[in-house]
Amino acid sequence: MDHLVSTTWLSEQEIIALLDRARNFHKYGARELPGKYTVSNLFFEPSTRTKISFEVAERKLGLDVVPFESGFSSTLKGETLYDTVKTFEAIGVDALVIRHSDEGYYEHLIGKTNVSIINGGDGSGQHPTQSLLDLFTIREEFGSFEGLKIVIAGDIGHSRVARSNADTLTRLGADVTYLCPEEWAGEFDSTSEWTEELLHSDVIMLLRVQHERHDGKMTFTKQGYHEKYGLTLERAKMMKDDAIIMHPAPFNRGVEIDEALIECSKSRIFKQMEYGVYVRMAVLEAVLNGRK
């Protein structure tokens, strides 16, 4: 595997192999990669979890990590993303993790540089490593995906997490329902009402309301959104005993999810963050081994 920019580039067999490798890291701990590799993380949008998770994964694998801060880079002088990537290639970087607001930014890079690209999130397009860590979390809980009923609720149309998970979960056999305000559905067939059947699903995956992508046109108050589309305490009481709550974070407390549910026994939100390191180690290993 030379790059990982979209889940659609992965076969089901490759997805399972990455999850197996991540489980191996989880169970037996990290092993430094043979050989010497240099990587950097180019984040042009704010990030805490993804950026730090990649950095921890890279250091556990023994990689040299070149620091990069977009706010102090030549991009402020008008340098294009392509020229930035070519610069990293020239100074000897093997792989770049890139987050950028432009959807599909990687299409202008693949095939034009020898640097391996890992997509850390592109606009409303794809977030492949978040999808893989979500899959890892679900698999650790239920053992497989076939026949699981999963609700993805929130800002669906703007969500690269929803887009990546819609691809992977359905291909692996899960039954996915999308719940959101009608105007946030994007290309997805969705419902705008919580029903008892939906609340009896195996997984309720909540998504952040992405205020930054609404151009100031948010039509809901925080309380209004929570009451109609959020996971309230009352709705959580209707969930199955063995069902779990997921959220890619950052979460808006009291909006997508009641604050009291964030660390409840059904919540796997912080487990998702922990598992993200193992998944990103597996991805980095696969991509860097692909360069041999």
How big is the CA angle at 220 (ends 214 and 224), to the nearest 5 degrees? 150
130 labelled as ligand-binding? yes
Question: What is the rounded distance in angstroms from the CA atom of residue 90 to the CA atom of residue 74?
Answer: 15
214 labelled as ligand-binding? no
250 labelled as ligand-binding? yes
Question: What is the rounded distance in angstroms from the CA atom of residue 118 to the CA atom of residue 260?
Answer: 35
For residue 224, what is the DSSP state?
H
210 labelled as ligand-binding? no
- Closest by alpha carbon to 145, among 156, 132, 154? 132
- Closest by alpha carbon to 288, among 129, 135, 63? 63
Query: DSSP readout, 32-74?
Result: PPSS--EEEEEESS--SHHHHHHHHHHHHTT-EEE---GGGSG
Q: Helix, strand or coil for residue 121?
A: strand
21 labelled as ligand-binding? no
Question: What is the rounded distance in angstroms from the CA atom of residue 66 to the CA atom of residue 245?
Answer: 36
- Closest by alpha carbon to 219, among 228, 163, 235? 228
235 labelled as ligand-binding? no
237 labelled as ligand-binding? no
The two structure tokens encoding residue 63 = 């990689």
* Order of strands, sheet of 95-100, starting from the edge strand that comes earlier in the sequence: 64-66, 38-43, 95-100, 116-122
160 labelled as ligand-binding? yes
Question: What is the rounded distance in angstroms from the CA atom of residue 113 to the CA atom of residue 111?
Answer: 6
Binding residues for carbamoyl phosphate: 49-50, 99, 127, 130, 249-250
Binding residues for L-aspartate: 77, 160, 208
Binding residues: 49-50, 77, 99, 127, 130, 160, 208, 249-250
